[in-house]
Chains A and B, each alone.
Chain A
Amino acid sequence: MNNELLNFLSILLDRITVIKLYLQMDLENSKVDHKIVTLLEVEKVEKEIKEMVDKIMR
C-alpha cells in the first residue's frame, strides 16, 4: 500500500506541476490561453483522489 500511495502522490504532484505551469505560462502572457486545459487537469486530480478514496474505503 505504501508504494501504491507514493505512486499516487507522485502522480498528483505531476498533475499539480502541470496546473502550476499552465497558470505561470498565462501569467507570462502566453499567446495560448490555458484556462480549459488547466480546468481539465484539475478535474483529473479530482477523479484520481475520488478513486483512491474509494479504494481505501473498500
Chain B
Amino acid sequence: MKRLVFILSDYILIVDDNENILYLLHEFLIKDGYIIELAGSGVEALKIINNRIPCLVLLDIKMPEMSGLETLAKIRIISPCIPVVVISAYTELHLVQQAIKDNLIKYYIEKPFDLGKLRKLIQEVLQSHSYVQEAL
C-alpha cells in the first residue's frame, strides 16, 4: 500500500548535541520564516520524525550515543526521501567522503559555516524536494 505524503515546505528539524548551535540556527532560520523543531540527539530526532515528517533535516555528524550517520541510516528506514543536510567539521571529512561514495549523503556543509551559504543551500534543497512520495 502506498501513501502520498505532502510535506510542509517550511518545517525544518535541526539535530545537534551542541545547544548553542541549536539556539543560533533556530534564531537564524526562524527569521527566514521556517518552522523549526530542535533535537539534541539522534534518538530524539527519530522520535520526532516518527510523528511528523519535516521537509528538511539539518543533521550534525558528530554526536554522542547515536552518531549522525547512524541517525541518518535510521531516518532512511522511516522515510527514504527526506532531504538531509549533514553538518560536519573538517575532522570528520573522511566519514563524509565515504558516506557520499555510499550514496548515504547528498548534501553537506562544513563547520564553521557561513549563514548565507547555509541559507542558500537550504533554499536549493527545498526547491528540488517540493513533495515526497513514500511507499509504506
Q: How large is the interface on B (under 10, 10 to 19, 20 to 34, 35 or more residues)?
A: 10 to 19
Q: List 24 A-B contacts (CB under 8 A).
A: A7-B91, A9-B91, A10-B62, A10-B89, A10-B91, A13-B89, A13-B91, A14-B21, A14-B89, A17-B18, A17-B21, A17-B111, A18-B21, A18-B24, A19-B112, A21-B20, A21-B21, A21-B24, A21-B28, A21-B115, A24-B115, A25-B24, A28-B31, A37-B20
**Given A10-B62, A30-B27, A32-B27, also A17-B91 (CB < 8 A):** no
The smallest C-beta distance from B95 to any residue of chain A, in angstroms, reads 11
Interchain CA distance A20-B20 in the complex, whole Å: 12
Bitwise, B98-135 to A at CB < 8 A (1) or not (0) is 00000000000001111100000000000000000000
What residues of chain A lie closer than 8 Å to B21, measured between beta carbons?
Answer: 14, 17-18, 21
What residues of chain B lie closer than 8 Å to A20, measured between beta carbons?
Answer: 112-114
What residues of chain B lie closer than 8 Å to A19, measured between beta carbons?
Answer: 112
Is B70 part of the binding interface, using a Cβ–Cβ cutoff of 8 Å? no
Bitwise, A1-29 to B at CB < 8 A (1) or not (0) is 00000110110011011111110110010
B27 to A25, Cβ gap below 8 A?
yes
Is B92 part of the binding interface, using a Cβ–Cβ cutoff of 8 Å? yes
Bitwise, B21-35 to A at CB < 8 A (1) or not (0) is 100110110010000
Interchain CA distance A28-B27 in the complex, whole Å: 11
What residues of chain A lie closer than 8 Å to B24, measured between beta carbons?
Answer: 18, 21-22, 25
What residues of chain A lie closer than 8 Å to B92, measured between beta carbons?
Answer: 10
What residues of chain A lie closer than 8 Å to B115, measured between beta carbons?
Answer: 21, 24-25, 28
